[in-house]
Every structure is written in structure tokens, then in C-alpha cells.
């Protein structure tokens, strides 16, 4: 699948390593846990009952289902993914488990998120924006769908050294690594899209050394406000 961010064999173990709580994971469909994220944005999003949440690059639905439990029946969660394979898995997980407040829509987050302007309280995303070739376009789209005062809380990877276009290895791009920006450029892209109060809520070394051409890859959880 596009975007294999994790290196561990068991998806549930991988999810725990990147920050998810065991007890919370037990409350959602187990097939939605792929262990391919790079953090646990849900822990920092402070979701409340009744809120509307969008999960970008929702995969099999892990963060969408955790969000649905938090916003409960009066709230709504929309997962967006560009691959039919992931959408099918996520929809099967939702319908088999009675998640009436979750919907999965097809869309490319870089081009056009299929959600109306100014209608969302919180956008979350786990290890996805790195896979886009134009991060600012993705952040502009996120900004468009958020309400004024709405928040974006995302996990993603940054690097200490960006690669030139010719150095990019397609396989590693798909592993969320070769497309990584520096922390400075990543935050600049967020601010260029119009966000304010950008803060780093969590920061961990994700990979370092030979496997990533001598680069250091760090996983961040970032919050920004519209």
C-alpha cells in the first residue's frame, strides 16, 4: 500500500510503539489497525462530543473510529483516502461495527478534499501529508475546510536534510521518508497556508543512519489553528 510508515511486524504492537493506548485500541475494529502511522494525533486533538472531524489519509480507519468514539452520536467523522483498497477496508470496518457517525470519502488531499468550506472543527492526519508532493497545497485545503478557530492536529515525519528531486527513491517516498521536509520548511508550509499558533506537541526520533542515507528522520505531532 502507499505509505507504509511502520517497520514492525505486528500492527497492534506498532500502533502501541507509536503512541496509541492499548485500552483505546481495544475499543475499535481490530482490522482498522494497520500500524502504519508515525504518531498518535488523536491523543492531542482534544475531541469533544458533537464535533465534526476529518481524518486525512484515513487508511483502514484507525483514527476515524477512535475519533467517532470521542465525538459520539451527535458528532460526525469523515475519513478521506485516495485509494479504493483502503476505502473498501475502512467502509467494511464501519458497517460491520455499527459506526453510524463515520463516513469514508474518496479524495486527493493535495488537490481537492471533498468537504465543504468552513464546516470542520478538527482535522487530524497520521503520516500522510509527507506523501504529497506539494505540502502547501494540502495545508491550504485543510485551511479551507476548517471553521474559523478550528484546529489541525497531525503526526508526520521531518528530516534534518531534504533530498534533491534526482535523489528521491520512489520506494522510500512511499515509505514517507524521501518526501520529508525539514521541520523549518514543514512549519513554513503550514504558516504559508494561513495557520497561526503553530506548536509542536510531541517529537521523537523515528529513524537514523544508513537506511535513510545518513539522514535523521523525526516524528512530530503538530497543532495549528485557523
Ligand X SMILES: C[S@@+](CC[C@H](N)C(=O)[O-])C[C@H]1O[C@@H](n2cnc3c(N)ncnc32)[C@H](O)[C@@H]1O
124 binds ligand X (CB under 6 A): no
Q: For the chain, give the longest Cα–Cα distance.
A: 49
Shortest Å distance, C-beta 222 to ligand X: 15
Letters for 95-114 (x = contact with ligand X by CB under 6 A, - = none) are: -------------xxx----
Pick from 14, 25, 28, 36: which binds ligand X (CB under 6 A)? 36
Stretch 165-194 residues interacting with ligand X (CB under 6 A): none
126 is an interface residue for ligand X by CB under 6 A: yes
Tell which residue, 208, 194, 109, 123, has the closest CA to residue 157.
208
Confirm or reject binding of residue 28 to ligand X (CB under 6 A).
no
Near ligand X by CB under 6 A, which window of 94-102, 124-132, 193-201, 214-222? 124-132
Minimal distance, residue 32 CB to ligand X, in Å? 8
Site size toward ligand X (CB under 6 A) is 24
Q: Does the protein bind ligand X through residue 82 (CB under 6 A)? A: yes
> Euclidean distance between the first and final Cα of the chain, in Å?
32
Distance CA 127, CA 115 (A): 20
Q: Which stretch binds ligand X (CB under 6 A): 44-52, 54-62, 166-174, 198-206?
A: 54-62
Compute the Cα dihedral for 6, 8, 13, 18 and give only its sign: negative
Using an 8 Å Cβ cutoff, are 40 and 19 in contact? yes
Q: Is 131 in the site for ligand X (CB under 6 A)?
A: yes
| 3 contacts ligand X (rule: CB under 6 A) | yes
- Minimum Å gap between C-beta 5 and ligand X is 4
Q: Using an 8 Å Cβ cutoff, are 139 and 190 in contact?
A: yes
Task: Kindly give the interhelix angle for 62-71 and 84-95, rounded to the nearest 10 degrees.
Answer: 40
- Between the alpha carbon of residue 155 and those of residues 116, 200, 220, the distances in Å are 23, 10, 5
Amino acid at each position: 500500500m502507499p505509505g507504509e510508515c511502520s517497520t514492525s511486524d505486528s500492527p497492534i504492537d506498532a500502533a502501541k510503539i507509536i503512541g496509541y493506548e492499548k485500552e483505546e485500541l481495544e475499543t475499535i475494529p481490530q482490522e482498522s489497525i494497520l500500524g502504519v502511522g508515525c504518531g498518535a494525533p488523536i491523543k492531542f486533538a482534544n475531541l469533544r462530543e458533537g464535533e465534526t472531524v476529518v481524518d486525512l489519509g484515513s487508511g483502514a480507519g484507525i483514527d476515524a473510529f477512535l475519533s467517532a468514539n470521542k465525538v459520539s452520536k451527535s458528532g460526525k467523522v469523515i475519513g478521506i483516502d485516495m485509494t479504493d483498497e483502503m476505502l473498501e477496508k475502512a467502509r467494511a470496518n464501519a458497517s460491520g461495527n455499527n459506526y453510524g457517525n463515520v463516513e469514508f470519502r474518496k479524495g486527493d488531499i493535495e488537490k481537492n478534499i471533498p468537504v465543504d468550506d468552513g464546516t470542520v472543527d478538527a482535522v487530524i492526519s497520521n503520516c500522510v501529508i509527507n506523501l504529497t508532493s506539494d505540502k502547501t497545497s494540502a495545508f491550504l485545503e485543510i485551511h479551507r475546510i476548517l471553521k474559523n478557530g478550528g484546529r489541525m492536529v497531525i503526526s508526520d515525519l521531518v528530516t534534518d536534510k531534504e533530498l534533491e528531486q534526482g535523489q528521491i527513491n520512489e520506494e522510500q517516498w512511499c515509505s514517507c521518508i524521501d518526501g520529508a521536509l525539514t521541520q523549518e520548511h514543514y512549519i513554513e508550509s503550514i504558516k504559508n497556508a494561513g495557520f497561526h499558533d503553530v506548536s509542536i506537541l510531541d517529537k521523537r526520533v523515528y529513524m537514523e543512519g544508513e537506511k535513510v542515507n545518513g539522514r535523521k528522520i523525526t516524528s512530530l505531532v503538530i497543532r495549528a489553528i485557523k
